[in-house]
Structure 1
Amino acid sequence: MLDSSLAQEIAAIDGVELDSEVTFADLTTLHIGGKPRLAVRCRTTAAVVAVVKLLDDASLPLLIVGGGSNLVVADGDLDVVAVIIEADAVSVNFAESTITAEAGAQWDDVVAFSVESGLGGIECLSGIPGSAGATPVQNVGAYGTEVSDVLTQVQLYDRHSGEVSWVPASELELAYRYSNLKFTNRAVVLAITMQLLPDGLSAPLRYGELARRLAVSASEWQPRRPIRLVRDMVLELRRGKGMVVDAGDHDTWSAGSFFTNPIVDPAVATSVFEKVGEPTMPRYPAGEDKEKLSAAWLIERAGFAKGHPGPGAKAALSNKHTLALTNRGEASATDLLRLAQEIRAGVHDAFGVTLVPEPVWIGMSIDD
């Protein structure tokens, strides 16, 4: 139990502010979720470390919150302390073409800073909501680029040893939407450093839709374009899919891509193809005799259209993109849960493929 003396001890930490009013609906891009027992805003990474240590020593459950773009939180009062990281300094080392960002920096601000600094490599990750500290946890990726392509080191607070250290990215076992930080709570990301490209050009363009929009010819080998041009086009594409946060647009009240693209055996991919019979079905090599399918494609072929289940629903698929589950303004966590369960069951019934949610669930589960 969080007694008043512990709350006072936390409040006395330099760089800390207690917030007794905020809810998870205020802290997440889904605008869904109940009230933590306490919210602690930390303006420095030192404050984050001090607060987490005190709460861990008291064996109190806590949740690290950055941009709130990857959280599905239950309704009502929650037995958890929200530790909100607001340390957001971003710096550049032009001699080494690196950028270092504290965990609370808004990710798209970091991308914009890299473009303004003339450094390429993360422009395809423009418009992704959330904080810099969340990007290595699930190896954020979009339009043919992943954070693992540029990440060199991560500053971690190890909750078991109590140590703060810079850890090489190679130790995080980064893979598709995965790191060994994900779902473990073993450490808190305090800052990240990325190795970028100094010539003002993008990373090689690998994503077909983006390449076509940028007039990349099939004969070009590892095509690259000016980073500002690529960023602008990525933002245009994401806005068209409701994937750039806009407080006035309920199509953006989401957790982004809700399900990961499933990695399956080739036999499963072939079975799906045989059921649908579309020569253009998206299926890609995924290493170790595996293939990656498109979750959005599966959802659509299972019979779920954009905007499902239709006007008046409190939670619905985006009107712009079937991979986003959205709050239409008054949805509860239960409303979103039921929609997620319906979509997952429908895809499984149609194709025998079980979709895996990408967001972190707090106080509830898709299996409830």
Structure 2
Amino acid sequence: MPIYLAIPNDTLFFRGGEPMGMGESHFQTSIFPPSPETFIGAIRTLVIARKSNGDFEGYKNGRYSDKDWYKEVGFGELPESFNFIGPFLKKDTDILLTPPSNLFATSDKKKFAIAVPKHLNEVKHSSRLKHIMWIDKHNDIDSSDWKPVEDYITVKGMEKYLKGSIASLNRDDFTQLGDIFENEKRTGIALNKGLRTAKERHLYITSHKRFKENAVMVFCLDGVSSFPDSDILPLGGENRTVIYEKTSDLIFPSFEAGIEFLVTTTPFKVNKVVAGMPITDFLDDDLNVSLPGGIKSKLISYSVKRPLLFGGWDMAKNKSKDMVQYLPAGSVFYFEKCNVKGKNNKFLLGGENVQ
């Protein structure tokens, strides 16, 4: 699947979903990494702008509905052929992923452990699920010293995790947030729509990301031949842009034989919640996990962090989109051991004795 590097021209800003009230001191939070929909919207907008010469009204009125590029980006709903995965981060030569939510480390980051399923008779959890995530006792480590890993994990480190080689993980398999970007606070004032004049009592502060040297974002895109191989892409808020360019394909580690869990590499939309369970594209109402090759396996347990809320602007309807809940990248789902055929880079497959 083709991969693109996205290099910020300056800082980047991806705003949170909270409203700004008049007369209030307001700090506008930043969501990072941004949602896949943020990139998808930017990509679709760029294609429309380039192919229609900026005729967005014509696009919305169906003037170009017979064009190949229109069919590739679609109108409203995303076409099935539009395949986007990401965004990820890259530092020097390392592709970086959100760490699995059940991966823990000691405070000195010298030892690592995963929270694994335990039987219900050992830990009370739920009548619907037979297991729960738990860390085995380590005699030489106080239980309070285990902390969730927050640093980004390299592809090499992720391969160790997927194979269950936790003891072989080391500091070189991780990159700290401070090595990728730093936060910059910016003060701004809201403008009256269409007038470009300042709106009274609407000062705000935003948190921008300034990327370090040799740190970029990465995304995969297929099925959109009308997307230029390189260009300047408006991305996020505050009129920020990135320079992007097409590069070599991206290969992630993933296994097919003896798999027992998956870890998401990108946020997944929560379609609904059933008995406290987040139902997504790969998890149905009966708690069956849909895997590559049409394989389904019964869910055993899962580990997810706090859900994310993403919104956006609907160009087709010319209004703000409703806030939607997403499972964050790094969510882990355990299921009954099975074999699959193929892979899906939106989640990676692993197990104790995978092949």
Q: TM-score, normalised by structure 1?
A: 0.23
More strand by share: 2
**Higher relative CO (CA 8 A, sep ≥ 6), structure 1 or 2?**
2
